[in-house]
Amino acid sequence: MRIGIVGRPHVGKTSVFNALAQSNAVVGDYTSNKQYNLSTVSVPDDRLEPLTKVFQCNKMVPATIDYIDAGGTTQSARNPNVDRPDNLELNAGVLAELRTVDALAHVVRLFEDETVPHVDGNVDGERDIESVNLEFTFADLQIIEGRLNRLEKLLQNQKTPEYQNEFRVLETYKQTLEDGKPLRSLEISDADEKLIRGYGFLSQKPLLLIINISEDQLQDIDNIYKRFSDFETQEQTAVIILAAQLEMEIAQLDPDDAQIFMVEMGLNQSALDRFIQTSYQLMGLITFFTGGEKEARAWTLRKGQTAVEAAGLIHTDFEQGFIRSECINWKDLTECGSYTQARSKGLLRTEGKTYQVQEGDVLNILANPTN
């Protein structure tokens, strides 16, 4: 899973990135538009350790999330119908990276600090949300218009149903964007989703708004949450409040000190834990497990994905040669202590290709060798 961290300049993107990735990328050197930071973090999962006992193995392989800290966007908000920019401010390389992510995390500055000027003159969270949304709208419109022009030419020569269909779909999207709505507001059929997947439209990606507050604002966190909670009523949008600078410092402490510090600050979960929980919910992700004599391993799927899709994630051969899967909930398995016990208690189920994998399932995929 890949998540792109975006936002206006100097709002704390790199600080959030460091808090989540527990890394040390340089903050405050105003990296906008020049480069981006990449990091892979493990998704902490307490269920792996008991599973290593069942599988009698020593190694745990957690699921991972890749973060991309994309640098800032630099111009202020414009109305798409009045003032179209010729060139977008996120540079092409960063945009191309962002098109491949599964979700966007937009860092919104709420902390006040005179030494860190805001490019738009003052701190205004709602304005920044609007302005970054517009940025995504422009970027998507630019792609759609380019493709519509191309399709028009193609359709003059060949009126294939495929081109006609694509033209129709993209026209609807264009209209949606021009009406000021993001593409994530549309219900998109599976067929259309396949058609447009390759474009990686930014306004279609699930959106996590990260409200970046100062340490002092922590006492006002309930009111701040209320202020932004309306955004959660929008499709595929979630809000999370972080004190990025503080949480970045905590992430750099050793775990025992971090724990003490968090209790003092009244934080009951680390930034990473809250971020992961919220983004899994937002994106409808679930975790399943596999195990063997070498390792116990956690994997990420979308809710509704099937056993054969899970098999494909593990190995393409498993997908092609899929016969069936043995399946058991992780808790049932760890309580039984072994597969033999689980089987004798009748807790081990056999599931076919179309079985929808459930949160916490442990799968043992049986497949024919393919070559």
Least CB distance from residue 248 to ligand GTP, whole Å? 8
Asked whether position 243 contacts ligand GTP by CB under 6 A, the answer is: yes
Of ligand GTP, Mg ion, none, which one sits near residue 116, judging by CB under 5 to 8 A according to partner kind?
ligand GTP
184 binds ligand GTP (CB under 6 A): no
Helix axes 244-251, 13-21, angle to 10 degrees: 30
116: Cβ–Cβ under 8 A, 6 or more apart, which residues? 10, 28
- Please, what is the minimum distance in Å from the beta carbon of residue 36 to Mg ion? 9
Q: What's the closest the beta carbon of residue 21 comes to ligand GTP, in angstroms?
A: 12
Binding residues for ligand GTP, rule CB under 6 A, total 23
Q: Which among 211, 219, 137, 123 has a CA at the least distance from the CA of 178?
A: 137
Judged by CB under 6 A, the residue of 3, 6, 13, 286 near ligand GTP is 13
Per CB under 5 A, does 270 bind Mg ion? no
Binding mask 33-72 for ligand GTP (x = CB under 6 A): --------------------------------------xx
Indicate whether 14 belongs to the interface with Mg ion (CB under 5 A). yes
The smaller minimum CB distance to ligand GTP, of residues 27 and 239, is found at 27
**With CB under 6 A as the contact rule, which of the stretches 84-92, 181-189, 231-239, 241-249 interacts with ligand GTP?**
241-249
Residue 277 Cβ, how far from ligand GTP at the closest point, in Å? Answer: 21
Which of Mg ion, ligand GTP, none does 271 bind, CB closer than 5 to 8 A by kind? none
Choosing from 10, 106, 205, 297, the residue that interacts with ligand GTP (CB under 6 A) is 10
Which of 31-39, 117-125, 170-178, 234-242 is the region at the interface with Mg ion (rule: CB under 5 A)? 31-39
Taking the complex as a whole, the smallest distance from the CB of residue 25 to Mg ion amounts, in Å, to 7
**Would you say 15 or 133 has its CB closer to Mg ion?**
15
**Which one, of 358, 299, 310, lies nearest residue 331 by Cα?**
358
- Written in H, E and C, the secondary structure of the chain is CEEEEECCCCCCHHHHHHHHHCCCCCCCCCCCCCCCEEEEEECCCCCHHHHHHHHCCCEEECCEEEEEECCCCCCCCCCCCCCCCCCCCCCHHHHHHHHCCCEEEEEEECCCCCCCCCCCCCCCHHHHHHHHHHHHHHHHHHHHHHHHHHHHHHHHHCCCHHHHHHHHHHHHHHHHHHCCCCHHHCCCCHHHHHHHHHHCCHHHCCEEEEEECCCHHHHHHHHHHHHHHHHHHCCCEEEEEECHHHHHHHHCCCHHHHHHHHHHHCCCCCHHHHHHHHHHHHHCEEEEEEECCCEEEEEEEECCCEHHHHHHHHCHHHHHCEEEEEEEEHHHHHHHCCHHHHHHCCCCEEECCCCECCCCEEEEEEECCCC
Q: Judged by CB under 6 A, does residue 73 bind ligand GTP?
A: no
The residue (of 121 and 369) whose beta carbon lies closer to ligand GTP is 121
In whole angstroms, how close is the CB of 70 to ligand GTP at the nearest point? 9
- Of 22, 31, 133, 306, the one binding Mg ion (CB under 5 A) is 31
Residue 93 or residue 292: which is nearer to Mg ion going by CB? Answer: 93
Which partner from the list Mg ion, ligand GTP, none does 245 bind, CB cut-off 5 to 8 Å by kind? ligand GTP
Instruction: Spell out the residues 6+ positions from residue 151 whose beta carbon is closer than 8 angstroms to its own.
Output: 163, 166, 167, 170
> Of ligand GTP, Mg ion, none, which one sits near residue 212, judging by CB under 5 to 8 A according to partner kind?
ligand GTP
Length of the chain: 371
Regarding 133 and contact with ligand GTP (CB under 6 A), the answer is: no
Output the smallest distance, CB 203 to Mg ion, in A.
22
**Amino acid at the residue 239:** V
The residues binding Mg ion (CB under 5 A) are: 13-14, 31
The residues binding ligand GTP (CB under 6 A) are: 7, 9-15, 27-28, 30-32, 71-72, 111, 113, 116, 212, 214, 243-245
